[in-house]
């Protein structure tokens, strides 16, 4: 099945800094989503982005499907951005989402 | 729109017991998927339901079973609980293969 690798596994930032999280996948996809998991475990949808670029406030994401990677950019980070960020992909049809191991982000004041 | 709702939020069971978790999908969604997330790991796919049928299944034993009702809500049943079944169980709903939305999860502890 499709493999998903996220990097870095851990990231510590000073408040106000920018960061880039990467997601590599091993096959073509028709679904790619970025999530933020809050401390209570809920997965919050950030982007649905099988291809192209999207922006939402301080967050933006780019997926280059032909090169099998996606990037999540966080600008002017805040302590509330802390948590685990997951990339999840679906390879075809109705195949379920396959998750990476996540990037644990800690933003310190 | 209430989004995806799961119940209960927390549960403690004893080894060997059986448990049922419930999920109500987001309004307008017809597909429900269940995931297990162990501590420090990414969610792992258990199975997916569409039109009341199990459409796909991950690498989980038959102790894990499910059901989807005509109103698209779903249940996850786990029999003969093991300590290793302790995890966060997440339900996701979608309209076909489109964007998936997750519930807040059920945290199951097996003692």
| Percent of the residues in chain B that have a pLDDT greater than 90, as a whole number | 95
Partners of B4 on chain A (C-beta within 8 Å) are none
Asked if residue A41 lies in contact with residue B105, where contact means CB atoms within 8 angstroms, the answer is yes
Whether the CB of A73 is below 8 Å from some CB of chain B: the reply is no
Please give the residue of chain A at the shortest CA–CA distance from B39.
Answer: A41
**Nearest chain B CA: its distance from A109 CA (Å):** 24
Q: Is the pLDDT of residue A93 over 80?
A: no
Quick: pLDDT tens for A36-67.
Answer: 999 889 999 999 999 999 999 999 999 999 99
Do B102 and A42 count as a contact with CB atoms less than 8 A apart?
yes
Q: Do B99 and A48 touch (CB under 8 A)?
A: yes
Is A97 in the B-facing interface, judged by CB distances under 8 Å? yes
> Which residue on chain A is closest to B95 by alpha carbon?
A94
Residues from chain A that touch B44, judged by Cβ atoms under 8 A, are 99
Cβ pair B104, A41 in contact under 8 A: yes
Model confidence over B27-78: pLDDT tens digits? Answer: 999 999 999 999 999 999 999 999 999 999 999 999 999 999 999 999 999 9
What's residue A48's pLDDT?
Answer: 97
pLDDT tens, A76-92?
999 999 999 999 999 87
* Mean pLDDT value across chain B: 96
Mean pLDDT of A94-103: 92
CB A103 within 8 A of CB A8: yes
Do residues B66 and B53 lie in contact, with contact meaning Cβ atoms separated by under 8 Å?
Answer: no
Bridge partner residues of A105 (DSSP): A11, A83
Torsion of CA A5, A35, B27, B44, to 10 degrees: 40
For the segment B1-17, the average pLDDT, to the nearest whole number, is 94
What percentage of chain A exceeds 90 in pLDDT?
Answer: 92
Closest-CA distance of chain A to residue B73, Å: 18
Q: Which residues does B6 contact at the CB level (< 8 Å), separation at least 6?
A: B21, B22, B23, B24, B89, B90, B91, B103, B104, B105, B106
- Cβ pair A96:B50 closer than 8 A: no
């Amino acid at each position: 099945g499709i493999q998903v690798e996220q990097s870095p596994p851990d990231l510590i930032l000073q408040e106000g800094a920018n960061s880039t999280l990467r997601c590599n996948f091993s096959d073509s996809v028709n679904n790619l989503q970025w999530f933020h998991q809050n401390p209570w475990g809920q997965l919050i949808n950030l982007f649905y982005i099988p291809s192209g670029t999207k922006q939402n406030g301080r967050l933006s994401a780019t997926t280059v499907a032909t090169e099998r990677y996606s990037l999540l950019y966080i600008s002017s980070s805040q302590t509330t951005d802390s948590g685990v960020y997951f990339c999840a992909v679906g390879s075809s049809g109705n195949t379920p989402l396959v998750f990476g191991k996540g990037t644990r982000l800690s933003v310190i004041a | 729109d209430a989004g995806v709702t799961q119940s209960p939020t927390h549960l403690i069971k004893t080894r060997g017991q059986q448990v049922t978790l419930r999920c109500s999908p987001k309004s307008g969604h017809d597909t429900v998927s269940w995931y297990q997330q162990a501590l420090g790991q990414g969610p792992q796919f258990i199975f997916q339901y569409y039109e009341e049928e199990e459409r796909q299944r991950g690498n989980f034993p038959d102790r894990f079973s499910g059901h989807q009702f005509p109103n698209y809500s779903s249940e996850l049943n786990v029999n003969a609980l093991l300590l290793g079944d302790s995890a966060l169980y997440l339900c996701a709903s979608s309209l076909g293969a489109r964007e998936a939305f997750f519930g807040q999860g059920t945290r199951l502890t097996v003692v």
